[in-house]
Structure formats: C-alpha cells, structure tokens
Amino acid sequence: AVNKPLVVSTWNSGQISNAAAWPVLEKGGKALDAVEQAAIAIENDINCCVGLGGNPDRDGHVTLDACLMDDKFNCGSVAFVEKVKHPISLARKLMETTPHVFLAGEGAQQFAIASGFKLESGKLSPDAEKAYKEWLKKADYKPVINIERQQAHPKGHGPFAPERFEDGSFNHDTMGTIALDASGNLSGMCTTSGMGFKMRGRIGDSPIIGSGLYVDNEVGAATGSGQGEEVIRICGTHTIVELMRNGATPAEACKKAIERIIKINPEKAKTFQVGFIAINKQGEIGAYSIQKGFNYTVTEQGGKGKVINSESYF
Ligand code: SD4
C-alpha cells in the first residue's frame, strides 16, 4: 500500500514546516498547497537561514531564494530577492500567472510589487545584525560544516528552529519540503536566505530546479540543504529522481548522489556539508548527508512530526 499522505522536511526545524503542511494534507488537500504552507511557516519564523530574519550577504542585505514544483512539471523560482517576506508565494505567483519559471533580483521585486506583495523594511533582525557585526570583524568567507544543534529557540518561537553559531558563522539550514498527498500526487519547495555573508548576487542551489529541488510525479521528489555550489555541480535533486526512476530506493538514490559529490574531490568534501532527502511515489523515504549532523522531519499517519538523524558518509 502507498504510504500517504506524507510530508518530509530538511532539519529538525521541519517540525515547524510539517506542522503547517499537515493540516492541508490531512484534509485531502494538494501537496503543492501543503509545501507552500510549510515554506510560509518557516519564512515567518525568525531564524538564521530562511526568510527576512536570516543572515545577510557580505554587504549587509538579506537576499532570498525560493522555488516550488508541482505534480505536472509546473515550477516557479525566485532568487536574489530583497524585502519580500514570502519568496515562496512570489515563486508560486510567477508559476501561475506568467509564462516564466525563474525571476531574479530587482525584476523579481518589481513583479512582487505589481502582484500586490508588500515590501518590508530591509532592516536586519537583531540576531542577524549581531551576527553580521561579528562577521565584519574578520570578514572572512569561510564556510563551516553545519551541525544543527537542538536548542531552545532564542525568540521562543518553538523548540526546533535553526540556531545561529555564537561567532556569527552560518549554518546550512535551508528548508526543503517534499510531500505526497492523499491523491498520490507529489510536490516540493525549497526556501533560503542562502549562505550567510555570501557575495552580493550569489545564488545557491536552492532556487534552481534540478539542484535544490526536483519533482517528477511518476517517480518521486527530492530536496536538500548544504553547500549549494557543490549541489549545482551534479544537479543534485534531478540526479536523485533519475536514480529512483532507474530503480533506486530514495535512500539509495540520496546516497549515490552524495557519493558523486564526494568523488569529485574527496579531500575537499571533508570540509563541507550537503544533505539530501527524497520520497518516491510509494511513500518510501530516504536521506543521506556528507557529514554527521544532518537530520530531517517526517510527518505521516497520526500527524506527529518525527525527527530522524540522517546516515552520513563520514
Ligand atoms: C545555499 N543550499 O544557498 C543553500 C545553503 C543552505 O542555509 O543550505 N543554507 O547554497
């Protein structure tokens, strides 16, 4: 029997996103609506790595990337967007009301205004401000391996939001959610403020269809988190879906994609993190990461989110 409905999100902060997605799925709603709700919930939350409260780029501006994809190969992405609170809804608007699939920067912001989205102030959240000031002392661009820590949320928004490191260095806490609805259809989303203190204009894997997110309703769906540049090199999530098409389970497919990244440069791979999650049409779930510390949240029958530690290469 097919295990449905079902929603899986990256990280233990997936409890926030899954809690928003589940009511949609439980009522027999569409996976696309569920994953959009998942993104909205995490974009509303104040945390290091998603939404306007996230860490800024090295010039001090928060720039957001997000995408979503449904069960009919419809997709929408926005990147390098400023002052828009819900880039996921902007991506959906682009997908549903224009012939385009990908819009960036100033043009994306113009489209937001034209579509009735309100622009926010662009002021950094207190946490991001603090982290940025700290980062400016050295202004080093040195990605560190993320290990998500289970700590109380500094703002009391719930126990599982991503935490920022004390020294202002960043986590990899992009949120990706994939869902299978009661009708057996798949959709997914990915939303992020990207690498903290990135170069201005830098875009990672998260809004790139086939890298940060891919959905093929005949096969499965995959998303991920981590060092975007390394995911883009292998078109990570598209690779995972193709591996599943050729018979791999979601777990095997995630593992093979990670091994492909590691094979490019095994020494360098020791220094960064990538984690993938995947589901297939039968509702089977899998994940794999390079480093220890990646986890994900699964919500299925009963509706209670379960946090699972991913297997890892190292
Ligand atoms: C990126 N994949 O922009 C994202 C990074 C990430 O929290 O996971 N950040 O490359």
CA distances to 136, 258, 288 from 313, rounded to whole Å, are: 33, 8, 8
Higher pLDDT, 140 or 177: 177
Assess whether pLDDT exceeds 70 at residue 166: no
Q: How many A from CA of 139 to the centre of ligand 1?
A: 19
Distance between CA 168 and CA 133 in Å, rounded?
A: 8
Distance between CA 81 and CA 28 in Å, rounded?
A: 33
Q: How many A from CA of 247 to the centre of ligand 1?
A: 29
Among protein residues, the one whose CA lies closest to atom 10 of ligand 1: 228
Residue with tokens 């499965």: 220
Count other Cβ atoms within 10 Å, centred on residue 302. 8
Give the angle 34-86-223 at the CA atoms, nearest 5°.
50
Distance between CA 289 and CA 277 in Å, rounded?
A: 9
Query: Average pLDDT for residues 20-45, to the nearest whole number?
Result: 97
For ligand 1, say whether the CB of 205 is within 6 Å of any of its atoms: yes
For ligand 1, say whether the CB of 67 is within 6 Å of any of its atoms: no
Distance between CA 181 and CA 161 in Å, rounded?
A: 25
Q: How many A from CA of 193 to the centre of ligand 1?
A: 7
User: Is the Cβ–Cβ distance between 105 and 219 less than 8 Å?
Assistant: no
* Closest atom of ligand 1 relative to the 202 alpha carbon: 3
Query: Average pLDDT for residues 189-208, to the nearest whole number?
Result: 95
Distance between CA 193 and CA 64 in Å, rounded?
A: 4
For ligand 1, say whether the CB of 173 is within 6 Å of any of its atoms: yes
Assess whether pLDDT exceeds 60 at residue 9: yes
Higher pLDDT, 254 or 195: 254
pTM to 2 decimal places: 0.92
The pLDDT assigned to 142 comes to 63
Higher pLDDT, 116 or 272: 116
Q: What is the pLDDT of residues 89-127, one digit of tens each?
A: 999 999 999 999 999 999 999 999 999 999 999 999 998
For ligand 1, say whether the CB of 195 is within 6 Å of any of its atoms: yes
For ligand 1, say whether the CB of 192 is within 6 Å of any of its atoms: yes
The pLDDT assigned to 159 comes to 33
Q: What is the pLDDT of residues 141-156, one digit of tens each?
A: 665 555 443 333 333 3
Instruction: Tell me the best of 225, 272, 274, 289 to mutate to test the pocket of ligand 1, counting ligand atoms within 8 Å of each CB and taking the most.
Output: 225
User: Is the Cβ–Cβ distance between 9 and 161 less than 8 Å?
Assistant: no
